Amino acid sequence: MAYYYEEPSRTFNEFLLVPGYSGKECVPANVDLSAPITKFKKGEEEPAIKVKIPMVSAIMQSVSGENLAVALAKEGGISFIFGSQTIESQVAMVSHVKDYKAGFVQSDANARPDDTLADIVDLKESSGHSTIAITEDGTPSGKFVGLVTSRDYRLSRTPMDMPVKEFMTPFSKIVYGESGISLSEANDILWDHKLNALPIIDEHQRLTHFVFRKDYDSHKANPRELLDNKKRYIVGAGVNTRDYEERIPALVAAGVDVLCIDSSEGYTEWQKDVIQWVRKTYGETVKIGAGNVVDREGFKFLADAGADFIKIGIGGGSICITREQKGIGRGQASAVMDVAKARDEYLKETGIYIPICSDGGIVYDYHMTLALAMGSDFLMLGRYFARFDESPTERININGSFMKEYWGEGSARARNWQRYDMGGASKLSFEEGVDSYVPYAGSLKDNVEQSLSKVRSTMCNCGVMNIADLQKHAKLTRVSATSIVEGGAHDVVLKNQNNGGVNR
């Protein structure tokens, strides 16, 4: 007969942490949330890639675009650019993130001299940028002939059909830096000339980059920035088990730092083939994670195949209906705890520590701390990041409330059949995800800071100041249905802060 698990499949909502002794040094400011992303020999070497906060963004069209990748790297995490797009467009996103840092940014708001003010206004609205480079052909790397900022025109007086060449600041009057200049030298020019933007020009007068004053300020405001050895933002990318022999080399050439096989189920020969191809082609220089799995057998399979990290979770995402459609999966808490035990056993046997990532099942901020305490090294989040300004979707007003669109990779909208590929036809046979909305929540930075302040505070309550110690010393208790009710506001009439009314 089939194997039967005696223990029910548990979710994060069924557990609470029990406080431990906290010394005076155990304050949130002292808590270290750094975590390994890639495998390493414990006690002998450091992981090739670490995050400064245990958060990465999900490999989803509605979550991980280039803007979110930059914003998350500024906070110390990694975004995995979604792979359900053409190789060329995914490479372009990765290249944008890698080019963004070191202060040298490729121009993404460009116009031609014969364009009009109306074109400038439209470009400003679509790009969100007020500094627009004017090149002969309107491309980011064309011959640079001028610059337009909001100081160059007045909408109340300048005709909308006026050509750009008549009101732009011409090249002869522009302070610029020459290609090859260091970031420090570029920042000196910005400050000496009181500029907001410095174009960088090559020997043929072609535009190569911009350096912005705001990026200098941003660097000072984001001390946890996650940078590579060239001081560029670290970024990941998702790959599939079909076109990996073409996609992976293109992503590696673009500078991607870490890859992850994007699949609903990782205990497959197809994932083993991808990992072994990477090892044969690149050795250990290219880092690739795999998954998803929900038990020790799945972990052991991918660990032996050579995965750099392993993702946990099937059917626990808020937009995932795999469990409804196929009756397959496992409660996320049970999955994480089982895989964490397998990870620790593998470490004892081999001396190699393979980080594990909890993917899905996070509803409340405190679930993050629970997932880490149960053994996860870092967390992959989709719905959480989809709510922010930086996600790729539009903010829309629905019945007076601002929302963001959020859809699953297994939905009819995404049609990411490669993620659910079982070796059959090249199509999505049935949906395993939904198309939905999530409440708009503002900027990534503000929300991440608030969420992690809760994590740090809870860790101090447990008497620990890093994730490794949390995993060693955390005490967990199961909760009953009545204790869940007791844990929230109850037996009171709540004031509604927005309209003065009450909610029960």
Q: Tell me the pairing of strands 78-81 and 236-239.
A: parallel
Residue 260 known to be catalytic: no
320 is a catalytic site residue: yes
**CA–CA distances in Å: residue 204 to residues 137, 143, 290, 407:** 14, 7, 45, 45
Instruction: Give me the catalytic one of 343, 387, 419, 456.
Output: 419
Catalytic residue among 232, 247, 260, 320: 320
What 217-221 contacts at long range (C-beta under 8 Å, 24+ apart), as own/partner pairs, is 218/74, 219/103
The Cα-based distances of 417 to 237, 263, 330, 428, 432 in angstroms read 17, 10, 22, 5, 10
Tell me: cis bond preceding 196? Omega within 30 of 0 counts.
no
- DSSP secondary-structure letter at 492? S
> Rounded to whole angstroms, what are the CA distances from 307 to 189, 334, 344?
46, 22, 15
Residue 336 burial (CB < 10 Å; 0-12/13-18/19+)? buried
With DSSP H G I counted as helix, E B as strand and the rest as coil, what are the percentages for the chain, rounded to 5?
35, 20, 45
d(CA 229, CA 257): 11
Token pair 């000496």: residue: 192
Residue in this structure with the two tokens 């005696």, named with its chain if needed:
6
Active site residues: 320, 419
